[in-house]
Structure 1
């Protein structure tokens, strides 16, 4: 099966039933992202800026999200 690995943008309010989670490592609202597991409904993981409640959200593959988290934990983004 040829899996579509491209990212897709969507308004966060258009993702029905999404439960958004913010990292406990986020600061007090100045540099936060939220994540929703939308694999069941969209086959992807949704990411959005916490300051923009209604979106946009970026939908990426679970594999791309795992790589992002792994890279962020390794430190190449200056976090």
Structure 2
């Protein structure tokens, strides 16, 4: 289990973010997991998805079942 703070991760803007102000950042630093945070709240909370859950989440967004 990874115990480091998410502030220690390397973050990038998600390719699934739009070009507006509602962007999320993700990190590739945790094997098997995808940490996600609001790009405007860098010191705010993050959500950590399993790789499978992140894939399902993105698929649901693309299918417009989550808006």
- The two structures share one fold, judged by TM-score above 0.5: yes
Unpaired stretches in structure 2, ≥5 consecutive residues: none
Query: Which residue of 1 is the match for residue 62 of structure 2?
Result: 73
Map of 1:6-21 to 2, 5 A cutoff? 12-13=6-7, 16=8, 18-21=9-12
Q: Deviations over 1:31-55 (max 9, x none)?
A: 1111112333xx4110000110112
User: Which 4+ stretches in 1 moved above 2 angstroms?
Assistant: 23-28
Q: Which runs of 5+ in 1 are unaligned?
A: 1-10
Task: Decide whether the 8 Å contact of 1:12 with 1:48 is kept in 2.
Answer: no
The TM-score normalised by the length of structure 2 is: 0.72
**Structure 1 counterpart of 2:14:** 23
What is the alpha-carbon distance in structure 2 between the residues aligned to residue 12 and residue 49 of structure 1?
13
The structure number with the bigger radius of gyration is 1
How many residues align? The count is: 63
Note if contact 1:23-1:34 (Cα within 8 Å) is conserved in structure 2. Answer: yes
